[in-house]
């Protein structure tokens, strides 16, 4: 499993700031201004384990079985991301595509980071009227009580699904996720996708099937 490059904020974020806000953001980067989290995720929620996916960047043919363990690559998932994923009941066409139980035949590639869907949930009782001052720009911004997680995605089985490329899969997954009724305890806030990346280091993780379950606590 590789480590994906890039930080939280990109060029587009910086370009939207005025001169005073840019200086404040530079203060944050050099440690002069400190960002603190009022509700950090627990250690149990941040604990990472292993799942497997069939990468979009690996070639497939009609005879390819994407469920064959020797064809699948290891990817990490946090306990919180898994708890979020477990809230969704998706069809074969819009499934995330990860297998929770890994196998010794899976490929643990040091240069691979799986594609992700990043799902943010919010507390349905939160009206979004709370405010705080951003440590990044010193702007007053509105807040919501949210929890989020990055869920690995990959190719899935089926007469046509195995051949779906990344752009097709994210449309299908997005349709499935947005169409779910999450009940009274959770509401969908935002979703976004991150493509696969092929690059660096291995980390020792346990199987997701052995990880302790956690609650999504807003």
Q: Cβ neighbours of residue 86 under 8 Å, at least 6 residues apart?
A: none
pLDDT of residue 38: 64
Residue 18 lies in a domain: yes
Give me the mean pLDDT over the 1-6 stretch. Answer: 56
- Joined tokens for residue 168: 């097709």
Mean pLDDT over the full length of the chain: 81
pLDDT tens, residue by residue, 76-103:
999 999 999 999 998 877 899 999 989 9
CB atoms < 10 A from the CB of 45, how many? 19
Cα 157 from Cα 117, distance rounded (Å): 19
| pLDDT tens per residue across span 123-135 | 888 877 777 777 6
pLDDT band at 171 (very low <50, low <70, confident <90, very high): very high
Domain count, the chain: 1
CA distances from 110 to 81, 99, 143, 190, 202 (A): 22, 19, 37, 30, 5
Residue 202 pLDDT > 50, yes or no?
no
What is the residue range of 60's domain?
11-210
For residue 215, is it within any domain? no
- Of 17-21, 84-88, 209-213, the poorest mean pLDDT is in 209-213
Classify residue 132: in a domain, yes or no: yes
The answer to whether residue 137 sits within a structural domain is yes
Residue 192 lies in a domain: yes
Residue 26 domain flag? yes
pLDDT at 132: 76
Residues 173, 69, 108, CA angle at the centre, nearest 5°? 90
Residue range 167-180: average pLDDT? 92
Q: For residue 56, tell me if it sits in a domain.
A: yes
Q: Is residue 1 part of a domain?
A: no
Which tens digits make up the pLDDT trace of 41-64?
Answer: 788 999 999 999 999 988 777 677
pLDDT of residue 16: 76
């Amino acid at each position: 499993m590789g480590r994906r490059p890039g930080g939280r904020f990109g060029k587009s974020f910086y370009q939207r700031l005025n001169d005073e806000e840019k200086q404040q953001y530079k203060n944050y980067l050099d440690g002069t201004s400190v960002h603190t989290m009022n509700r950090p995720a627990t250690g149990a929620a941040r604990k990472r384990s292993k799942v497997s996916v069939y990468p979009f960047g690996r070639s497939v043919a009609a005879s390819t079985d994407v469920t064959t363990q020797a064809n699948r690559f290891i990817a990490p998932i946090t306990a919180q991301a898994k708890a979020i994923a477990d809230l969704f009941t998706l069809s074969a066409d819009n499934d995330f595509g990860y297998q929770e139980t890994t196998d010794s035949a899976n490929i643990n590639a040091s240069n691979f980071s799986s594609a992700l869907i990043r799902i943010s949930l919010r507390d349905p009782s939160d009206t979004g009227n709370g405010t705080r001052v951003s440590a990044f720009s010193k702007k007053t911004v509105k807040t919501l009580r949210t929890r989020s997680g990055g869920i690995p995605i990959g190719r899935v089985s089926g007469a046509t699904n195995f051949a779906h490329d990344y752009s097709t899969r994210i449309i299908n997954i997005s349709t499935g996720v947005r169409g779910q009724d999450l009940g009274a305890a959770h509401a969908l806030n935002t979703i976004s996708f991150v493509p696969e990346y092929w690059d660096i280091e291995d980390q020792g993780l346990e199987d997701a099937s052995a990880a302790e379950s956690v609650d999504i606590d807003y």
